[in-house]
């Protein structure tokens, strides 16, 4: 096999394994070699499993393969998993000091599903602390660098997963998306990231930041790879009370099933998503893709959804409120970091949390405590829930006429490390395009649209109605064909 | 003693002990007596990433209790988070309900009828919630004040609790206790709570005296202690008032060891629970049909049962109410009736007076009462057939209760069969006359002195002699002595 | 037009207490500035008219997700306590209460 496994798409790797051109051990060795070469420049991983462990697992799976007993759809593929997804007996930190040594006694449901399909867990990827961030700069374990430009951020909060993909360290990855955390890094690293419909993928084992907004999302370098991963992880889960019981289609098959898309799909671009704060470069690059679609015969209308202006504050009020609640459990009694102070439980709790949480996390918890507290609850949290209803109503109306909404994923190309970190509001502004999908609960995907000057990736975002991942993926695959931008690996 | 200016309200927490699992996870609920932290899973331990899923039976039981308390059940149940930090609360919030911000309790309104010293009273229910129990704190030195650290066991964390809050309709500690007893009987009859289990029923009480501030008393472990705590508190408040000290609104803790209420440490900041909806649990819709289905499957409640006792067995209101104060006793009565159906009132009488009195005197819990319903039935049959006297019956009842021996066993062991043979009794009376000549002379002049002679006959026969017959024979033989027909 | 809320140092102290997070003096100063800016940003939603609008907490439109009352094996005690910073005799060791 002349081409290194790490350069291949996941589906290609699987085909080569099945045809006997590659063994699983070969594949793991190739990826490990790549990791060894680039990881110190990128810092995509917080925890990597040991070489011995990985090779041993690969050997076992090769033997099963030879004996005809390997039936999994993921067939020995190495997968990078964001470090807020619980992995049994494998350290899970959420990028935080307060969980720096936490070893879960159970697997998240998605991890169980991956293992059942034969995947090999490569390691846990870096992230903004507790998923609070858009650049992967707030991690206790240091920032992750964008493989396309090591002085720039890879996006966040699933920056580690995206960087691992873009640098060829892994063919598939899992991230989580609360306000854009799968799509933003996909956009910044020229990879593909999907946020599923709320409830499609089990959250059991996803360490919560904002539980009414977040989903675990599949990430890869091609649309079809992401569809494959979605097939595996999108099962109904009785352990998650918000898991949808609906029958899931085969997402990979759907891509080929939908032909003559231009006849079936009416596309809309939302005016407000191309205005405030979006750089001219991004508008141009995304606009070019839209023009190509028009050339292909698609109807593309421009619509206006004024209430979207309020999506960002609505999102942050809800997210911070939920965060203040979901992070209350970290007090050093049952697991994690505990401050070395004497005193009563109030003192120990306060020191532990003051010391164990990073600044952004503390900011959001304090703000979230404010928005939920007596006297402020009605005009902030409760009102935000009502604005949420309004936004949902507007999107419902839009989807009555249109099947796909298109926008840029990020308002700018990847910015420099340190550029926005000092100003929380500047950082929050990066989310303007992505938060609406979380507020409404609809699926959204980011795929590469093009490169800005200095070869900086720019992503395009597609949104569809609830449970329309099949259409979304078909549309995304179509655009991928048009642009030719697929399976892009940065030369680090 | 009721006072017009004492207002008492109760906040009762009842474990739904009949559930096999916890409220939000499938951990086995029988945690009592087990080693610490062995009935725990990611959900009830609050591990990062774990999610709650509601126990269907818990909702059914909650609906049943609401129906039994005549409460209005809400059409939609939404769970809320109540935030406060404490080492026994793994998530540092409790999942419960809230009555604002588009939330509502499971049921509102309702009432309970109590009876204290023959006076009937209605206690109104304010609301019923379903929520999770926290874990248990253990103090290594035995005292919260001196322990240098705290040990935590999360076995109890996540157990399903019903919170039942009353209006301040009670006016005395006795009424509060009566409320709790009635509530307990209802819960037992419904089969949702075995309230004998330690910690299965806990109460906080609110009390205000003479229109003063409301004082909350927490940490009262049992209905008995509620009465004690409230009685203490009334005295304390009255003393303060008489000294001119203003009773301030505060929370006090019942110190079970010293039997006093002590002020809890006052926090500088007030509690702000920051209630908001629990997004991990979708709403639960309760249809009228579903409520009806549950109503139809409900077991008989104490009041209905008492009514049936009155109508079918001719018992008085008082007798019926006493029998239904505990499901165990009412069951015992009906089971015994199966073996002794001829005189229900007599059976009720024996149970209420002799049986119950003894049980209360020795403070026996139902699981230490070995008597079987058939035993009491047997006992009454023996009495009816005059094989034993009422005195013997009362004599052997304790042994039946404690050891569970059948009456026949005890009678033959102790040779207690009633002596009804005239000749046998005559012989013994003669013996007694000879041994107590002086008393015989007394009896000849003073009728009342006969009882001493009868008593001696009973002593000699160890109570077996038929008292009526003995009396008759003693009189006869005294006559004979008087007439000179009998020389002693 | 309702009155504008300003986050004061006192309020930050109160919130930090409610959230059991000990802040350094520097952090308090920074937060005073940052949080007021965030609050201004939040105040944007003031302009939205939500009269007659119901709040949305759950987007998945599920109801009655219930579980059977069937026991499952709990975690072994050793796994429960594995991550505990301090433990004793099968218990978690927490700081003193008073």
Structural domains in chain A, sorted by start: 7-260+469-483 (3.90.1300.10)
- Whether the predicted interface score ipTM is above 0.85: yes
Q: Which of C92, C93, C95 should be substituted to probe chain B, the one whose Cβ sees the most B Cβ atoms within 10 Å?
A: C92
Q: Does C18 touch chain B (CB under 8 A)?
A: yes
Chain B, nearest residue to C96 by Cα? B149
Report, as an integer, the average pLDDT of A154-178: 98
Q: Which of A366, A371, A423 should be substituted to probe chain C, the one whose Cβ sees the most C Cβ atoms within 10 Å?
A: A366
Cβ-contact B68, B184 below 8 angstroms: no
Cβ-contact B105, B227 below 8 angstroms: no
CA–CA separation, A105 and B40 (whole Å) = 12
CA–CA separation, A308 and A147 (whole Å) = 33
C37 vs chain A: nearest CA distance in angstroms? Answer: 8
pLDDT tops 90 at residue A358: yes
Chain C, nearest residue to A359 by Cα? C27
Which segments in chain B show pLDDT lower than 50? 1, 268-269
- Told to judge if A82 belongs to the known catalytic residues of this protein, a careful annotator would answer yes
**Cα A363 → chain centroid:** 23
Report, as an integer, the average pLDDT of A26-50: 98
Single out the catalytic residue among A23, A61, A82, A161: A82
Residue B82 to residues A325, B72, B265, B270, C82: CA-CA distances in angstroms?
A: 9, 23, 21, 14, 28
Please indicate whether, in this complex, the C-beta atoms of A332 and C85 are within 8 angstroms of each other: yes
Chain C, nearest residue to A88 by Cα? C79
Say what percent of chain A tops pLDDT 90: 96
Lowest mean pLDDT among A112-126, A430-444, B264-278: B264-278
Within 315-374 of A, beta carbons closer than 8 Å to B belong to: 321-322, 324-325, 328-329, 331, 333-335, 345-346, 349, 369, 372-374
Write down the pLDDT at residue C11: 96
The CATH number that domain B422-482 falls under is 1.10.10.410
In this complex, the residue of B39, B153, B281 whose CB is nearest that of residue C74 is: B39
Of A37, A16, A39, A36, the closest CA to residue A26 belongs to: A16
A261's enclosing H/E stretch is: helix A261-264
pLDDT tops 80 at residue A423: yes
Which is more confident, A30 or C3?
A30
Chain C, nearest residue to B44 by Cα? C74
Write down the pLDDT at residue A14: 96
Of B350, B365, B469, the closest CA to residue B420 belongs to: B469
Lowest mean pLDDT among A291-300, A392-401, B376-385, C88-97: B376-385
Cβ-contact B127, B62 below 8 angstroms: no
**Cα B372 → chain centroid:** 19
Q: Which of B49, B94, B151 should be substituted to probe chain A, the one whose Cβ sees the most A Cβ atoms within 10 Å?
A: B49
Write down the pLDDT at residue B419: 79
Of A262, A246, A206, the closest CA to residue A94 belongs to: A206
Return the CATH architecture of domain C9-46: Orthogonal Bundle (1.10)
Single out the catalytic residue among A23, A135, A139, A181: A181
Q: What is the mean pLDDT of chain A?
A: 97
C partners (3+ CB pairs within 8 A) are: A, B
A partners (3+ CB pairs within 8 A) are: B, C
B264 vs chain C: nearest CA distance in angstroms? Answer: 10
Residue in the block written with tokens 């991004």: A282
Report, as an integer, the average pLDDT of A35-60: 98
Residue in the block written with tokens 């005059």: B386
CA–CA separation, C28 and C11 (whole Å) = 11
- Told to judge if A181 belongs to the known catalytic residues of this protein, a careful annotator would answer yes
Write down the pLDDT at residue A209: 98
Of B125, B148, B20, B131, the closest CA to residue B80 belongs to: B131
DSSP state, residue B409: H
CA–CA separation, A409 and A186 (whole Å) = 9
CA–CA separation, A196 and A210 (whole Å) = 16
CA–CA separation, B61 and B23 (whole Å) = 12
Query: How do the domains of chain B map onto residue ranges?
Result: 6-292, 300-413, 422-482
């Amino acid at each position: 096999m002349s081409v290194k496994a790490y350069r291949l798409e996941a589906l290609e790797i699987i085909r080569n394994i099945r045809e006997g051109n590659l063994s699983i051990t070969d594949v793991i060795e190739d990826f490990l070699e790549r990791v060894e070469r680039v990881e110190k420049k990128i810092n995509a991983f917080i925890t990597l499993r040991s070489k011995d462990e990985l090779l041993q697992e690969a050997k076992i799976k090769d033997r099963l393969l030879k004996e005809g007993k390997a039936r999994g759809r993921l067939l020995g593929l190495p997968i990078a998993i964001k470090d807020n997804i619980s992995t049994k007996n494998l350290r899970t930190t959420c990028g935080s000091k307060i969980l720096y040594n936490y070893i879960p006694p159970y697997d998240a449901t998605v991890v169980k599903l991956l293992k059942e399909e034969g995947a090999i867990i490569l390691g846990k990827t870096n992230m903004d602390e507790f998923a609070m961030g858009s650049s992967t700069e707030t991690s206790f374990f240091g920032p992750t660098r964008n493989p396309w430009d090591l002085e720039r951020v890879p996006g966040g909060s699933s920056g580690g997963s995206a960087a691992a993909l873009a640098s060829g360290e892994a063919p598939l990855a899992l991230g989580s998306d609360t306000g854009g955390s799968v799509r933003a890094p996909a956009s910044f690293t020229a990879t593909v990231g999907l946020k599923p419909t709320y409830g499609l993928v089990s959250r059991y084992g996803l360490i919560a930041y904002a539980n009414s907004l977040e989903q675990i999302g599949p990430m890869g370098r091609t649309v079809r790879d992401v569809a494959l991963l979605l097939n595996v992880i999108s099962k109904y889960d009785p352990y998650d009370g918000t898991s949808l019981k609906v029958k899931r289609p085969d997402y990979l098959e759907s891509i080929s099933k939908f032909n003559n898309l231009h006849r079936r799909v009416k596309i809309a671009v939302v005016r407000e998503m191309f205005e405030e704060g979006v750089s001219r470069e991004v508008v141009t690059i995304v606009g070019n893709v839209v023009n190509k679609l028009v050339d292909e015969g698609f109807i593309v209308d421009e619509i206006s959804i004024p209430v979207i202006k309020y999506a960002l504050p609505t999102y942050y009020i809800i997210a911070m409120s939920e965060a203040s609640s979901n992070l209350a459990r970290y007090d050093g009694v049952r697991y994690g970091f505990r401050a070395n102070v004497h005193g009563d439980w109030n003192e120990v709790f306060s020191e532990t949390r003051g010391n164990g949480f990073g600044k952004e996390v503390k900011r959001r918890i304090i703000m979230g405590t404010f928005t939920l507290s007596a006297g402020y609850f009605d005009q902030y949290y409760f009102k935000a829930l009502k604005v949420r209803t309004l936004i949902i109503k507007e999107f419902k109306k839009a989807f009555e006429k249109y099947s796909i909404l298109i926008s840029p994923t990020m308002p700018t190309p990847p910015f420099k490390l340190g550029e926005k970190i000092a100003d929380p509001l500047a950082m929050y502004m990066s989310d303007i395009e992505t938060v609406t999908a979380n507020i409404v609960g609809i699926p959204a995907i980011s795929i590469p649209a093009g490169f800005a000057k200095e070869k900086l990736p720019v992503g395009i975002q597609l949104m569809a109605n609830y449970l329309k991942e099949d259409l979304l993926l078909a549309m995304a695959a179509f655009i991928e064909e048009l642009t030719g931008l697929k399976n892009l690996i940065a030369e680090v | 003693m009721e006072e017009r200016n004492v207002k008492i309200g109760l906040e009762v927490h009842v474990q739904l002990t009949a559930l096999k699992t916890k409220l939000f996870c499938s951990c086995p609920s029988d945690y009592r007596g087990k080693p610490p932290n062995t009935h725990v899973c990611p959900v009830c331990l609050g591990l990062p990433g774990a999610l709650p899923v509601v126990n269907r039976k818990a909702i059914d039981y909650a609906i049943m209790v609401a129906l039994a308390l005549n409460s209005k059940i809400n059409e939609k149940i939404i769970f809320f988070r109540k935030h406060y930090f404490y080492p026994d609360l793994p998530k540092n919030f409790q999942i419960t309900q809230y009555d604002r911000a588009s939330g509502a309790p499971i049921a509102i309104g309702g009432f309970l009828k109590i009876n204290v010293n023959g006076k009937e009273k209605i206690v109104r229910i304010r609301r019923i919630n379903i929520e999770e129990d926290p874990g248990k704190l253990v103090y290594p030195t035995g005292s919260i004040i001196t322990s240098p650290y705290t040990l935590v066991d999360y076995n109890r964390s996540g157990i399903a609790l019903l919170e039942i809050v009353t209006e301040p309709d009670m006016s005395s500690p006795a009424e509060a206790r009566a409320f709790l007893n009635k509530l307990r009987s209802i819960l037992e009859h419904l089969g949702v709570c075995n309230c004998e289990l330690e910690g299965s029923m806990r109460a906080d009480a609110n009390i205000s005296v003479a229109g003063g501030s409301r004082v909350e008393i927490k940490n009262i472990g049992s209905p008995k202690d509620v009465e004690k705590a409230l009685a203490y508190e009334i005295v304390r408040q009255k003393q303060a008032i008489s000294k001119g000290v203003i009773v301030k609104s505060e929370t006090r803790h019942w110190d079970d060891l010293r039997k006093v209420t002590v002020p809890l440490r006052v926090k500088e900041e007030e509690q702000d629970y920051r209630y908001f909806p629990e997004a991990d649990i979708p709403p639960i819709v309760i249809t009228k049909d579903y409520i009806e289905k549950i109503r139809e499957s409900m077991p008989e409640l104490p009041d209905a049962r008492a009514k049936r006792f009155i109508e079918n067995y001719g018992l008085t209101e008082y007798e019926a109410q006493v029998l239904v104060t505990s499901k165990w006793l009412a069951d015992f009565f009906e089971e015994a009736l199966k073996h002794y159906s001829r005189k229900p009132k007599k059976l009720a009488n024996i149970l209420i007076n002799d049986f119950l009195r003894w049980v209360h005197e020795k403070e026996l819990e139902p699981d230490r009462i070995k008597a079987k319903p058939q035993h009491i039935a047997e006992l009454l049959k023996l009495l009816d057939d005059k094989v034993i006297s009422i005195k013997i019956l009362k004599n052997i009842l304790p042994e039946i209760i404690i050891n569970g021996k059948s009456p026949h066993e005890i009678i033959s062991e102790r040779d207690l069969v009633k002596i009804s043979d005239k000749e046998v009794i005559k012989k013994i009376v003669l013996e007694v006359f000879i041994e107590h000549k002086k008393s015989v002379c007394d009896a000849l002049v003073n009728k009342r002195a006969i009882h001493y002679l009868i008593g001696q006959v009973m002593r000699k026969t160890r109570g077996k002699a038929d008292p009526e017959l003995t009396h008759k024979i003693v009189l006869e033989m005294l006559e004979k002595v008087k007439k000179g027909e009998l020389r002693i | 037009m309702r009155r504008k809320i300003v986050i004061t140092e006192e309020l930050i102290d109160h919130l930090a207490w409610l959230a059991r997070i000990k802040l350094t003096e520097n952090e308090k100063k920074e937060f005073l500035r940052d949080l007021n800016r965030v609050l201004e940003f939040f105040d944007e939603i003031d302009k939205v008219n939500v009269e007659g609008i119901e709040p949305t907490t759950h987007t998945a439109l599920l109801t009655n997700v219930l579980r059977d009352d069937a026991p499952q094996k709990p975690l072994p005690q050793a796994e429960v306590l594995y991550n505990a910073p301090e433990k004793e005799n099968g218990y978690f060791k927490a700081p003193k209460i008073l």
